[in-house]
Chains A and B, each alone.
Chain A
Amino acid sequence: MNKKKGFVYRLPAVLTSMKTAVILLSIMIILSIAGSLIPQGKELSFYAMKYGDFWGGFIIAAHLNNFFRSWLFLSFSALFFINLASCSILRLFRRLKRRDPLRPGPDIIHLSLLLIIILGVFVLFTRQETTVMLAPGESFTLPDNAVIRLASFEIEYYEDGRPKDWISRLELTAGDISTESLVEVNKPLKYGAYRVFQNFYDLRPHAAVRSSSGEYELEGQDGLATDAGAVYLMDIREIDDESVGIFFFTEDAEDAESSDYDELHLKTGDEFRGLTITDLYVSEFSGLLVVYQPGAKLIIAVLLLFCAGLALTFYQKLGDGLV
C-alpha cells in the first residue's frame, strides 16, 4: 500500500524529471530508426515478398508498415508530450516563484515544440489530399463547389531537355468571383484552407490511323488489332523537327504478349501493314495536388517561433559566456 502511495506521490517527479526526458528521447530515437528501416506505406503483398510470410505478417499485424501512426510510436510520442509539457510548466512556475531573471529562450523552444506536436496531431486528423490530372480546358470541383479550371499548361525545358518548370494557369470560380493565377512548382494556389500544388505532369502520345475498316485513335500505349498483327503506340519523339511515332508491331494479333515485336518509327502519311498514319501529336497534362489543410499558416508561424526560441537561447548563452 505504501509502495503504491509512494509511486503516486513520485509520479509528478518522474514525469517532470530530466532523466525521464532523456529516456523518452532515447526511445524515440530507437523507434525512429526502426521505422526508417522498414519501407512505409507499401502494399501488403510487398512485405510478404520482401520479408517472407512470417515476418511480413508480423509487420502488418504490428502496424510496422505504417509505423509512425502505430500505437507503439504514438504512445511514446504522447508520453514525450506529457513529459515536455509538465517539465516546461513546472520550470516556468519555479522561475516565476523565485523571481529569476527572464530567460525565455528555452521556454519558447519547449512551447513551440508542444505546439508542433499538437498541430501534428491536428494535421493527422484534418488533412485531406487528392491528385488531379487535367488537360487544358478541363476542370475539377472542390467540396465547397468552387471550380478550378486549367486554362493553359506549359512545360519549360532546359537546353539539355530536362524540365525547367511546369506552369498551370488556373481559373478559380467561387460563387460569382472568378480569379486567375499561375501555379508553379513551389508556388501553390491559395484558396481558403485549400492549396493547389503543381505536382507532376504527364505527356501522352496520340496517333490517328486509318485502315480499310475505319479510322482509329491510339493514345499512350493503346493497342489496335489488325489482320496482320497488333499495333501499339509507345511514344512520340521530335526527330529533325518532325514528330515521329514509335510503334510496336507484333506478328501475332491473338497473343501479343508472348509474341516478338518490331519497333517502327513512322511519320504522318506513312503506311504500314494496311494502316495509314493521319495524325501524330502529344497532349500535355498538368498533375495537381489538391490539399485541404487548415492552419498551414499557423504551422509556419510556430516553426518560425521555434527558430526564434533557438536564436534567443543561443543569445542568452553568449551572454553567459558558455559559447
Chain B
Amino acid sequence: MIMTSAALMLQFLSAAVQVVFIFKSSRKDLFSHFLLLASGLLLLANLIIRSIQINFVAVTNTFESLVFFSAAIMFVLFFMRLRLKDKVYQLLIFGVTVISIALLAIASSPIAPKEVLEPIPALQSNWLVLHVTFAFIGESFFAVSFVAAIMTLRAKDDERKKLSDKITYTSIAIGYPIFSAGALVFGAIWAYYAWGRFWGWDPKETWALITWLTYSVYLHLRFIKKMRGAVVSWAAIIGFLFTLFTFFGVNFLLSGLHSY
C-alpha cells in the first residue's frame, strides 16, 4: 500500500510539473516523464512483491488489476514522451496522467480491498494472466486515444486537429489487437478451461464485446471519407467510456461470473 501511495504521489507531482510546463510555453519539460516512469516501476515492484506473496501473478482482484492498469499507462506515456517531442503532446500526457491518477485513487479507496489473498481455483490459470494483462495493456492505449480524441474535437487549427487525430488512430491501432487478443481470445480460452464454455453472454463478456465492436466501428469509419472528423473522434471517446463501464459499471450495476 505504501508503494501504491508513493506511486500516486509521483503521478501527482508529475502532473503538477506538466501543468507548469503547459503554461510555460517557452521551456521544454525534460523531467515529468521520468516521474511517470518511476511511478510505473514502483507499481510494478508492488505487483512483483504481491506475486511472490501469493505465489501467482498478482492480477487476480480489483486492486491488483487497477495497479497493473495504471502501471501500463505509465509505461505507455513514458515511451510516448520519448518518441514524441512536439509540445502539443504535453496536454495529452497530462490528460492521460489524470486518468491514471483517478484509477490509482479508486485502487486506494475502500471499494478495492487490498488484502494479499491467494487466488481462488478458477483464477489459477496462465490464460487468465494473459487475458487480464493483454486486456489492460490494450486499454492503456485506449486511454491515450480517449484524450487525443477529445483534443481533436477541441483543436482550433487544422494542424493540431490532424496531429491529435493521428495519435488517436495510432493508439487504437496498437491497443485494438492487444485488447482483442486479451479480452476476447485469451478470455474465451480461459473461460473454456475454467467454466467449460468459451462464451456465456455474462455481462462482463458482453461489455467487452461491446467495447471491441465500438473500436471496430472506429477503425471502419476511417475508411468512409464522409465520416471522418468529429464522428470518428466520438467513436474513440465512446469506446473508452465503454471500456470504463466494462471494468467498473458492470461490477457495480450488473451481476455476473467475473469477480472483478
Q: Which residues of A contact B (CB under 8 A)?
A: 18-19, 21-22, 25-26, 28-29, 32-33, 35-37, 39-40, 68, 120, 123, 127, 129, 158, 160, 162-166, 184-188, 195, 197-199, 289, 291, 296, 299-300, 303-304, 306-307, 310-311, 313-314, 317, 322-323
Chain B residues positioned under 8 Å from A19 (CB to CB): 224
Asked whether any CB of chain A lies closer than 8 Å to the CB of B189, the reply is yes
Asked whether any CB of chain A lies closer than 8 Å to the CB of B124, the reply is yes
Q: Give Cα A188–Cα B255 distance, bound, in whole angstroms.
A: 26
Q: Give Cα A185–Cα B122 distance, bound, in whole angstroms.
A: 6
Report which of B203, B206, B224 forms a contact with A22, defined as CB distance below 8 A.
B224
Closest to B177 in A: A310
Q: Which residues of B contact A (CB under 8 A)?
A: 117-118, 120-122, 124-125, 127, 169-170, 173-174, 176-177, 180-181, 185, 188-189, 192-199, 201, 203, 206-207, 209-210, 213-214, 216-217, 220-221, 223-224, 227, 250, 254-255
Q: Give Cα A303–Cα B180 distance, bound, in whole angstroms.
A: 10
Chain B residues positioned under 8 Å from A26 (CB to CB): 217
B203 touches A36 (CB 8 A): yes
Q: Give Cα A32–Cα B227 distance, bound, in whole angstroms.
A: 23
Q: Give Cα A198–Cα B125 distance, bound, in whole angstroms.
A: 14
Q: Show 20 residue pairs from A and B whose CB-CB distance is below 8 angstroms, ordered by the A residue.
A: A18-B224, A21-B220, A25-B213, A29-B213, A29-B217, A32-B210, A36-B207, A36-B250, A68-B201, A164-B121, A185-B122, A186-B193, A188-B196, A197-B195, A291-B197, A304-B185, A310-B177, A317-B173, A322-B169, A323-B170
| Most chain A C-beta atoms within 10 Å of own C-beta, residue among B193, B198, B221 | B198
A164 touches B118 (CB 8 A): yes
The 3 closest A-B pairs by CB, nearest first: A185-B121, A310-B177, A36-B206
For the complex formed, measure the closest distance between the CB of A287 and the CB atoms of chain B, giving whole angstroms. Answer: 12
Q: Give Cα A25–Cα B220 distance, bound, in whole angstroms.
A: 10
A186 touches B122 (CB 8 A): yes
Report which of B213, B221, B255 forms a contact with A28, defined as CB distance below 8 A.
B213
Q: Give Cα A303–Cα B221 distance, bound, in whole angstroms.
A: 25
For the complex formed, measure the closest distance between the CB of B249 and the CB atoms of chain A, giving whole angstroms. Answer: 10
For the complex formed, measure the closest distance between the CB of A98 and the CB atoms of chain B, giving whole angstroms. Answer: 17
Q: Give Cα A39–Cα B250 distance, bound, in whole angstroms.
A: 12
* Contact of A25 with B173 at beta-carbon distance under 8 Å, contacts A18-B224, A162-B117, A185-B121 already known: no
Chain B residues positioned under 8 Å from A164 (CB to CB): 118, 121
Q: Give Cα A129–Cα B203 distance, bound, in whole angstroms.
A: 21
Report which of A162, A300, A323 forms a contact with B120, defined as CB distance below 8 A.
A162
Chain A residues positioned under 8 Å from B181 (CB to CB): 307, 310
B177 touches A311 (CB 8 A): yes
Report which of B121, B196, B203 forms a contact with A289, defined as CB distance below 8 A.
B196
